[in-house]
């Protein structure tokens, strides 16, 4: 019998599999496909202070072994998330959920965090300083250690919930940024967000995305994500959530081996809504195949 329980920043999960923000809505939509309580938890759609329509269309472009997206943090704003989305979620999901927060200033990050801190049922705040598809915020905070640390300190000052900082791979040294966040008080880190990319329509000679560039996700980025998770897990003492191109139970096992405490699954949910359910069902078999009886014994690269 395989024990898949993991402790993420002081909260126990039944298993390490977590749908990533932006690929699972606010949860209740996916509950139409299966009982989402099978999940360890999930990170809900990136939420900002004010409602956002997002970027103009087209926002999605396919490419070999991956997907480019430039959705631009479309969401109804934190007040409607609290008044409308969370009550619907509570009807179908009975575990702590991870709230993903985005912002365009320190004040916005802290205000959204302050409001969500009061909500029962939210277990963690995942602070997105890594979105490549917005201007004037998002990734700009995640490319500089000092800015990343400033966001971390500001959010930690207004919440009692564990704070997980979501890091961008679009940097030359992700370890220095990870360590800056840890020193500023982060309880955990999640990485990687998407890699900045683009494609052209050869007929029009224009970019396929209205935003010109977008974030690349999918199996193509998995080796890069794995390398960065390994590097960061070696350098910090706080939990690391690994994500980026994860699409199978074997991928989850590799992420755990690289040092991740838990693993997020992103674009695979867009291809197959039952991806996480199938991964959770398959994971014990894959672990047994390699002689593992507990998730915590898989990690050899981290602490």
pLDDT band at 72 (very low <50, low <70, confident <90, very high): confident
pLDDT band at 297 (very low <50, low <70, confident <90, very high): confident
Angle, helices 174-183/145-156, rounded to nearest 10 degrees: 30
pLDDT tens readout for residues 195-239: 999 999 999 999 999 999 999 999 999 999 999 999 999 999 999
Residue 249: burial class (beta carbons within 10 Å; 0-12, 13-18, 19+): buried
Q: From 166, 198, 191, select the one nearest 66 (Cα to Cα).
A: 198
Domains of the chain: 6-55+73-198+218-297 (3.20.20.70)
pLDDT tens readout for residues 134-177: 444 555 678 889 999 999 999 999 999 999 999 999 999 999 99
% of the chain beyond a pLDDT of 90: 83
How far apart CA 10 and CA 13 sit, in angstroms, is 10
* In the predicted structure, residue 274 carries a pLDDT above the cut 50: yes
Contact between 237 and 87 (Cβ < 8 Å): no
Residue 135 is predicted with a pLDDT of 45
The predicted model scores a pTM of 0.94
Kindly report the three-state secondary structure assignment for every residue of 70-83. Answer: CCCCCECCHHHHHH
- Cite the active site residues: 131
Contact between 48 and 78 (Cβ < 8 Å): yes
Residue 140 is predicted with a pLDDT of 63
Residue 300 is predicted with a pLDDT of 58
Residue 302 is predicted with a pLDDT of 44
pLDDT band at 133 (very low <50, low <70, confident <90, very high): very low
pLDDT tens readout for residues 73-129: 899 999 999 999 999 999 999 999 999 999 988 999 999 999 999 999 999 999 999
């Amino acid at each position: 019998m395989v024990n898949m329980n993991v402790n993420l920043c002081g909260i126990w999960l039944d298993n390490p599999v977590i749908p990533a923000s932006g690929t699972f809505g606010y949860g209740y939509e996916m509950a139409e496909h299966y009982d989402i309580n099978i999940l360890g938890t999930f990170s809900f759609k990136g939420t900002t202070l004010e409602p956002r329509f997002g970027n103009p269309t087209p926002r999605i472009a396919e490419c070999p072994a991956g997907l480019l997206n430039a959705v631009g943090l479309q969401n109804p704003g934190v007040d409607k998330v609290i008044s409308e989305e969370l009550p619907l979620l509570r009807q179908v999901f009975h575990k702590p959920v991870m709230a993903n927060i985005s912002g365009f200033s320190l004040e916005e990050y802290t205000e959204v965090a302050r409001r969500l801190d009061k909500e029962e049922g939210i277990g963690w705040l995942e602070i997105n300083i890594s979105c490549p598809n917005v201007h004037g915020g998002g990734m700009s905070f995640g490319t500089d250690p000092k800015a990343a640390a400033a966001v971390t300190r500001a959010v930690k000052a207004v919440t009692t919930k564990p704070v997980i900082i979501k890091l961008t791979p679009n940097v030359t040294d992700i370890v220095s940024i990870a360590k800056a966040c840890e020193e500023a008080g982060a309880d955990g880190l999640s990485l990687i967000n998407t890699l900045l990319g683009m494609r052209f329509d050869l007929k029009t000679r224009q970019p396929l995305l209205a935003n010109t560039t977008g974030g690349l996700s999918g199996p193509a980025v998995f080796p890069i994500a794995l390398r960065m998770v390994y590097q960061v897990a070696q350098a910090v003492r706080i939990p690391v959530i690994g994500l980026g191109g994860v699409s199978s139970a074997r991928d989850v096992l590799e992420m755990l081996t690289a040092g991740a405490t838990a693993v997020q699954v992103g674009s695979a949910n867009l291809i197959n809504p039952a991806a996480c359910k199938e991964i959770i069902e398959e994971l014990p078999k894959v672990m047994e195949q390699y002689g593992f009886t507990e998730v915590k014994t898989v990690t050899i690269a981290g602490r």
